[in-house]
Structure 1
């Protein structure tokens, strides 16, 4: 059934409005970062700066804590993404291909684990990390992020594995390929979009997380980027808006760059495994 022209126009208009809705906060952040102090305190702000200024970026970059916080966030996010993916990949394959009570219980645990809010588990997590001697350490923060991101990444990956036809593996086995060769030449290439997507999810969730970092990290030298951004807000609610916007814009760049570099993998690996011998 063909879509009517008027309906198609309405769909494009709705999509354009949705894109503007999502992109406007980033546009406003970009504009605020380049405004001068005089424009920031004016009673009639404009969408774009009247006079472009780099003063906010100079103030932000002169702060040595910015670089250490970005480094800490990068270490934590990369470690979380790698460890989570390495654990979730074989577990997702076993869940998708298995047919047992363990699979049912595991999927139920995954779904139930997403219901609990942060507040309910922060005290037990704090006690466990204290007993392990991992309070105020990046290792403890990575451990929390891996445990928190693992259920959803596992759920995502097992969906990708389920979408791969079993007939491809059976055909490879008929041709004499070993299980390891089948996984390496057929399953893993087909799973590359899922691996990239789940790794990006784990990376971004760890990069942006604030609550656990606020509870676990007390040393300014080990703070992550979200904790640094919170320090721009004064005790009485006053906000150093220019440097805050500049620092926030800087902290978004790693995620954008990493996604821009690896987004090709989402398409390149989609069907590559099915045509390899």
Structure 2
């Protein structure tokens, strides 16, 4: 009894420092989680607040927007700003600019994805002499500022008689977006094991059949993600659209927004925010339509076992 009684306090004393360390580790993890959550909340608020302020301002009268008092909620909300933006005749019309932007962006995404997908497959799945040079060329092209080529591109498009046309602007956007899409899709294609196609070919499928039935469905998230970035890039591009399509009937939406800037300084900020909200809506809708395909774990268990 005496020996057991004497050994018990020694065991508790030995266990006490270990329990203290575990408690401190739990407290540090909890503090780290709280700090991480606060940082994420700050980043979220900083990212969302400008969008909220744009939408909030779009529902306020311009006199209230230009006043000294801040309104964090459209207490005197009105739809007149949107009505004037869509139906007003004091500036370039909204509908043709919307159609031009949608047409150019969709053509750019469709054509760029087709060519970039084929190029990414060739670079990833096949070995040829100029493969390394092709990859290096893609990187170099992405490093060149687009504005540095604006004069030569203007003269080229003018020589083709494609100024103020959807086709000419789409061709320029495709050339601009293509290096990025090739590089991005190359990473997605490289992430799909070639053993999947080989196993399907052993089971009796042809190379084309193995690709379309096995590999292509796994690449769908990569195609969607790359298409979203290409769509946003084409949708928001301003410089080329301003130089190549300056006419009112050929404007895209970013150039159309420029018509709200009065050289005399009398800017209707409420209508400008309403127009900016309308420009942002198609991108949001496009993202919501394809977000279900943007899952990154489709390949995770493909070769399991």
* Partner residue, 1:200: 228
Provide closer, same or farther for how the CA distance between residues 134 and 177 of structure 1 changes in structure 2, counting only shifts above 3 A.
Answer: same
Of residues 249, 257, 277, the one that matches 1:249 is 277
Q: Is the 8 A contact 1:188 1:273 kept in 2?
A: no
1:217 to 2:245 alignment: yes
| Structure 1 segment 75-86 matched on structure 2, within 5 A | 75-86=103-114
Of residues 102, 105, 113, the one that matches 1:74 is 102
Of residues 27, 31, 35, the one that matches 2:60 is 35
In 1, Cα distance between the equivalents of 2:88 and 2:239?
Answer: 23
1:98-157: CA deviations, max 9, x gaps?
A: 333422111111111111112210001011111111111110100000000000011110
Secondary structure (helix, strand or coil) at the match of 1:4 reads helix
Secondary structure (helix, strand or coil) at the match of 2:295 reads helix
1:155 to 2:180 alignment: no
Q: Is the 8 A contact 1:136 1:218 kept in 2?
A: yes
* Partner residue, 1:127: 155
Runs of 4+ that moved beyond 4 A: 271-275
* Partner residue, 1:63: 88
Specify the structure having the higher radius of gyration (Cα): 2
1:22 to 2:47 alignment: yes
In 1, Cα distance between the equivalents of 2:165 and 2:255?
Answer: 14
Secondary structure (helix, strand or coil) at the match of 2:143 reads coil
1:273 to partner: Cα distance: 11
Q: Is the 8 A contact 1:229 1:244 kept in 2?
A: yes
1:189 to 2:217 alignment: yes
Give unpaired runs (5+ residues) of structure 2.
Answer: 1-24
1:168 to partner: Cα distance: 0.8
Q: Is the 8 A contact 1:33 1:243 kept in 2?
A: yes
* Partner residue, 1:96: 124
1:218 to partner: Cα distance: 2.4
In 1, Cα distance between the equivalents of 2:62 and 2:195?
Answer: 64
TM-score, normalised with respect to structure 1? 0.94
* Partner residue, 2:11: none
- Range moving further from structure 2, 141-150 or 256-265: 256-265
Q: Is the 8 A contact 2:120 2:182 kept in 1?
A: yes
In 2, Cα distance between the equivalents of 1:8 and 1:265?
Answer: 30
In 2, Cα distance between the equivalents of 1:91 and 1:202?
Answer: 16
TM-score, normalised with respect to structure 2? 0.85
1:73 to partner: Cα distance: 0.4
1:274 to partner: Cα distance: 4.5
